[in-house]
Amino acid sequence: MDASGESVGNQARLASALLPRAKSRKPEFAVRRFSDGPLRARPPEEIRYGTGQSAVGPVLVASSDEGIVTIMVRNTTAQLVRDITARFTQAQLVRDEKGCKTRVAKVVKYIAAPVGRFELPLDIRGTEFQQKVWEEVRRIPFCETSNYSKIAEAIGAPKAIRAVASSCSNSWFAFAVPCHRVLHKQAATPTRKALPGTVQYRWADYEAGLLAKGKAARKR
Q: Could you tell me what percentage of the chain is helix, strand and coil, using 3-state DSSP and rounding each to the nearest 5? A: 40, 15, 40
Round to whole Å and give the CA distance between 217 and 144.
Answer: 20
3-state SS of 52-76 is: EEECCEEEEEEECCCCEEEEEECCC
Please say whether the beta carbons of 80 and 58 come within 8 A: yes
| Other beta carbons less than 10 A from residue 51's beta carbon | 19
Which burial class, exposed, middle or buried, applies to 91 when counting CB atoms under 10 A from its CB (0-12, 13-18, 19+)? Answer: middle
> Around Cβ 106, how many Cβ atoms within 10 Å?
15
Distance CA 187, CA 166 (A): 18
Contact criterion met (CB below 8 Å) for 45 and 25: no
Q: Is 179 a catalytic residue?
A: yes
Give me the active site residues, please: 179
